[in-house]
Chains A and B, each alone.
Chain A
Amino acid sequence: MMYKVVVPGDFISDEVDRAGEGTYVDNGKIYALNYGIVSDKGAIKVVALSGKYVPTMGDVVIGRIVELSYPFWIVDIASPYEARLHLSDFSRGAERRIDFSSMSNYLDLGDWIIAKVQKVDALMRVDLGLEDEIKIDDRGRLIEISHTKVPRVIGRSGSMIKMLKEKCKCFIFIAKNGRIWIKGQDENMNLATQVVLMIANEAHTSGLTDRVAHFLDSYEEKEK
């Protein structure tokens, strides 16, 4: 499949009822709202190539604690909107109530967590809930790419990420907000990082999965 890049205001199609995300309809025609790639599967969409992450309910994100403000932890989620995590999410399993002074025993400034977006209200207040595995430890590596490129790193029905995990022998966790957590041996992490950045760089090109596969194979051969 060839990727077609459009700029805002480009005419895309006459099929008004198929207008999807990243497009708008004017005078019976669909135009692009984003600078991005046209996706023709189902609804006609324009997938942006850059832009800021806006949380939506159900997204799993990687965030950093930036403030302790009882009874919340304020979390940076690589978005214009900061998120908050309520104490009660934590105290559920705890024996006793958490007060302000002991908040930092659970999560302290600078800690990285994996969390799920529970709710986003009209005022863009973002509430997080915890996932099973929440805390990101020092082992491993965290890299950040544009959230718009996350789908490419995952690949169609997870094909890309599956291959990456296999070939790089790493644990890789991709969050919706573009942060990626990689854990494994040093050189494996190097390779995984390199490939992820390569995917992000070439996210707008076609045949990417094949090229990545080829790259990984040739890397393997060099190693032998």
Chain B
Amino acid sequence: MKEEGIELIKDGKRLDGRGFEELRPIKIEVGVLKRADGSCYFEMGNNKALAAVYGPREMHPRHLQDAKTAVVNYRYNMAPFSVDERKRPGPDRRSVEISKVSRAALDPVILKEYYPKTAIDVYVELLQSDAGTRTAGINAASVALADAGIPMKDLVSSIAAGKIGGEMVLDMNAPEDNYGEADMPVAMIARTDTITMLQMDGRFTKEDFKRGLVLAKKACHEIYELQRAALLDKYSERAGEGGEE
């Protein structure tokens, strides 16, 4: 939005050398926290998210219990050291909003009716942030929920599409996000192409929006495959490991 900003696209490449539709490198690890019921470490370029799932467990305070279903709590939190300028610790307007939309993004896949009166707590900590952290958080949380053995219809995958220097791109990093024209985080169920979260910040034309959605869909499928592979990897045949000595 800043007119004089920086040149975000040079010779058909982005600042970090990526193509328009190229994602940052992704790394996923399942079950990284021993004390959590399910956990996942999700890295996307310089975004580092750690998700922990606890539950279903007894809901406290009691009056927030739901006699019919489980209650999903989602806490998105940025570590004070996750950004250049130290972030004041604790929840703020922004993180409360992100927690709310992320919860809603995952809500449709969780079979909450299986655990009436309980709470499913999802904690997402951003250890390092470089734009698009809510999508990284949702990707991590989705895998962590599966790891916790919570019945779900599908995994949720998430990515941001945006517009920088007049071009539609995927997965923007911090400079692109700051100096670009628009940003649109999307969360979806890859198998059915069902969108569970869609936000937009900035201005798109109708065509931009459509194009962005197509790009995001494609990327979500890519991420879904990685999430799935990470989960399968945890239980790939490890015959003989341990117990041999």
Contact = CB atoms under 8 A, between A and B. Distances in A.
A198 B242 contact: yes
A204 B238 CA distance: 9
Contacts of A201: 241-243
A194 B242 CA distance: 10
> Which residue, B56, B154, B241, has most C-beta atoms of chain A within 10 A?
B154
> Which residue, A10, A146, A207, has most C-beta atoms of chain B within 10 A?
A10
Contacts of B67: 123
Nearest to A33: B151
A215 B56 CA distance: 36
B27 interface: no
Interface in A126-167: 146, 148
Contact of B228 (A7, A51, A206): A7
B238 A35 contact: no
A53 B77 CA distance: 29
A34 B149 contact: yes
Contact of A50 (B114, B118, B148, B192): B148
A35 B150 CA distance: 8
A8 B239 contact: no
A211 B239 CA distance: 9
A49 B37 CA distance: 11
A80 B242 contact: no
A103 B239 CA distance: 49
Contacts of B155: 7-9
Interface in B187-234: 189, 191-192, 227-228, 231-232
Nearest to A7: B231
Contacts of A50: 37-38, 147-149
A123 B116 CA distance: 8
Interface in A26-83: 26, 31, 33-36, 48-52, 54, 80-82
A108 B111 CA distance: 37
B153 A48 contact: no
A80 B58 contact: yes
Contacts of B148: 50-51
Contact of A80 (B55, B236, B240): B55
Interface in B110-126: 111, 114-118
Contact of B149 (A5, A49, A205): A49
Given A7-B146, A8-B154, A35-B231, A52 B115 contact: yes
B56 A204 contact: no
> Which residue, A31, A34, A80, has most C-beta atoms of chain B within 10 A?
A80
Interface in B150-184: 150-155
Given A33-B111, A124-B116, A52 B238 contact: no
Contacts of A52: 37, 55-57, 115, 149
A205 B238 contact: yes
Contacts of B147: 35, 50
Given A9-B155, A50-B149, A205 B116 contact: no
B237 interface: yes
Interface in A200-224: 201-202, 204-207, 211, 215
29 contacts: A5-B235, A7-B146, A7-B228, A7-B232, A8-B146, A9-B109, A9-B189, A9-B191, A31-B191, A33-B152, A34-B151, A35-B231, A36-B149, A48-B151, A50-B147, A51-B148, A51-B149, A52-B55, A52-B57, A80-B55, A81-B118, A82-B58, A198-B242, A201-B243, A202-B238, A202-B241, A205-B238, A211-B240, A215-B243
Interface of A: 5, 7-10, 22, 24, 26, 31, 33-36, 48-52, 54, 80-82, 123-124, 146, 148, 194-195, 198, 201-202, 204-207, 211, 215
Given A5-B232, A26-B153, 7 more contacts: A5-B236, A9-B155, A31-B154, A49-B235, A54-B115, A201-B241, A202-B239
What are the 4 tightest A-B residue pairs by CB atom distance, in nearest-first order?
A51-B149, A9-B154, A50-B149, A198-B243
